[in-house]
Amino acid sequence: MPCDLILALDVPTREEAAPILRQLRGTLRWVKIGLQMFTAYGPNYVWEIAGMGFNIFLDLKLHDIPNTVAKAVESLAPLPIQMLTLHTAGGGEMMRAAKEAQRKHNPKLLLLGVTVLTSMDSAGLNEIGISSSSAEQVARLGGLAAEAGLRGLVCSPLEVTLLRQKLPRDMQLITPGIRPANEQGGDDQKRVMSPADAARAGSSYIVVGRPILKAGDPAAAARAILTELGSV
């Protein structure tokens, strides 16, 4: 199964993002817009980046009562987005409501269930009252998402092999927490893996931010990761 690259556009301002995006046009296809940039600039910014030729992964991690999440999916449906996230911890009823709204209002949109954030480990889960390990919790939430009709998940690359064994073959697995082998730690990601290892494990897409955004030549950094993926 081929694996593609998504840029996490986690920068403070559109002015900082603009030259990076210009350099990356023609090199990669996907850009992830997260809560920070969407809150700052709104739907018009989604249209702006889509107008540059990128596919859009809108990472809002919706989590609320079922009706509210369904209405949010409906409100977002006219935007030029291909992926949208919601928290699987919202439960089966919430995910089913979101799926029905997506089916009615944007049939081509891929809803992605976020399992356990890559900033959390088992100790972090225990802190909020979840005694399961991160892998066990990811498997539980992933199964719940599949039962609710979702066909995509966001998970740590460390849980991809486990999910591939338990979930339908067509489930799209999107994995943040990716670090090229020559990159050091020093950020808030705890459950990480290299691009090639994530692809070999069965990731459908990998999400990479800082190693591209902070590179002297972002396009060269993206090409290196795509080359690594292509070698798997």
Across 63-200, the runs of DSSP E, i.e. the strands, are: 83-87, 110-114, 152-154, 172-175
Mind giving me the DSSP string for 172-198?
Answer: EEEE--B--TT----SS--S-B-HHHH
Cα separation, 212 vs 102, in Å, equals 32
**Active-site entry in 32, 61, 166, 214:** 61
Q: What are φ and ψ of residue 198, in 5° steps?
A: -65, -40
175's tokens:
């994995």
49's tokens:
């980046």
- Annotation marks residue 61 as catalytic: yes
Q: Which residues are catalytic?
A: 61
